[in-house]
Chain A
């Protein structure tokens, strides 16, 4: 038994060594840095140990702004994108003609570069001295006032960011859900039909529970992905996100690491730890809530 254990560890060694060096060590290091005041990565020095970094970032208006933006983004985009994806993939699984064509169309955004999509959104939403942009044109046709969505008021910018994020994450969710719909055994539907079950009851009582593991997977990864959002904001508003009030937590961490020539790794580490704790908490809540609704 001893001998076999030894052998097992030997086989595991490469993977463990790799994970230890590139995953566990940096993770521990980040936590350590977050407690070291004024850590300098070049000289490897710091002034003292304590909660100073946390105190600083939690009072930094930019961090609080980033926190707020991230939470709004998460709370709006995860339910909206999952709901839309459910709707679209359900519709897709109900049509028989041209289904593959539609699937391809809905999947196209996924293989398109984020920044290119951002450019398209800019063109659609931006208001310049020469043109109002297509969206503003539509708003005006229906009797509204034009708004600058890219450099204008906070709510307008947030709206664009949310629409953009939903649009970017939708294709993957549709892909997953269409295959989930297709994987439900047809016998269940036949049995339900013979028992005169209404369409909506079939959907809510049979289809949804059957594909609940997939929906749950999408919600978990959706939450995590939205908390880690950054490139979407850059694609729309450029790199000066603090000035645009559109920064996210990851954007704040990035700015702290590389901004102001050299940056503040301690502050960055502290905010990274805060982000980690938030994601961890939300995921734990998700997991415990899901026990009631997800049927494996």
Chain B
């Protein structure tokens, strides 16, 4: 089942009673989540991603706009009628019930023709437990399970009723780093096996990039960009998306385009043709620097960290937005320890953005 959001807007009354303008948490948000995909809503905290998720689940009512589940308008349907499964950030496992009872809980709510016999319920619980690999812990209470196991129980509880869509709110934020990587692969596997349309919310770009088919980047309640993770990384629409994705982060310089050259400071770093001239943001991915003794881009070298596979060069430049800049180069390159280091730039890893609108500027290398 695909999920379509059309012009979704959510306003909250202002907490400060003296200000009568509403807080707009989500503004005119339209996306289509394709059937059977795993889609991440990514953005910094407070960008409205959880609000979008809660509107899909029905726990929040949109101020305006429509929500469609596979063509059916569900905007006015209460959450219990939407047939979705949801995993909460806190997992919300009932602490007084065992894992088995927790997973069985949604099944016991079935009424009328959907009602299951005890044997059917037990079988469904066992199948789901097997899918998320917690069969041996079914008789433990949530308090006796580790964070990762609790997470699996929560996913099993959401999946056991065979929902039309699975919603996950920051599913990995309560796990430690190692478990997080393991669990995200697990979520990916479960999603592939069940082929259930899955939407998850995260502020962690690694998480989003590694498991989603489609990534939705949000900022301040508005859609920034939607697409495949690699495509968004390579081809960000605006400065925010470019800066938000990538670790280490993209390097931002204040530059300008003049007479067919891209300048950073006094250095003409690339010969280009571009429709716009004047001041621009120049963003260069860490992997976009090639060390070259006579390269056009001169910077002051801070230090060189040898990481084995590759080398991180820490340097600085007066026209940069941040004090410390990072380049990642293959370890064959020997960087002489000198006060200065020079690079040439990979055009594909160099992005230009308008100084005022912060939108992407297309250019080609001469």
Contacts and interface: CB of A to CB of B under 8 A. Distances in A.
A201 interface: yes
A187 B109 contact: no
Contacts of A192: 105
Interface string A252-263: 000000000000
Given A195-B80, A195-B161, A190 B109 contact: no
B105 A197 contact: yes
Given A191-B88, A194-B85, A195-B105, A210 B80 contact: no
A188 B161 CA distance: 17
A55 interface: no
B96 A195 contact: no
Interface in B86-132: 86, 88-90, 92, 94-96, 105-106, 108-109
A295 to B, nearest CB: 4
Interface string A207-248: 001101000000000000000000000000000000000000
A131 interface: no
A183 interface: no
Contacts of B84: 194
Chain B interface size, under 10 / 10 to 19 / 20 to 34 / 35 or more: 20 to 34
B107 to A, nearest CB: 9
A190 B79 CA distance: 9
Interface of B is mostly: loop
Interface of B: 57-59, 78-82, 84-86, 88-90, 92, 94-96, 105-106, 108-109, 157, 161
Given A197-B109, A205-B105, A210-B95, 19 more contacts: A185-B92, A187-B88, A187-B89, A187-B92, A190-B86, A191-B88, A191-B157, A192-B105, A194-B80, A194-B85, A195-B105, A195-B106, A196-B106, A196-B109, A197-B106, A201-B109, A205-B94, A206-B94, A210-B96
26 contacts: A185-B90, A185-B92, A187-B92, A188-B92, A190-B79, A191-B86, A191-B92, A191-B157, A192-B105, A193-B78, A194-B57, A194-B59, A194-B82, A195-B106, A196-B80, A196-B81, A196-B106, A197-B80, A197-B106, A201-B109, A206-B94, A210-B95, A210-B96, A212-B96, A295-B95, A295-B96
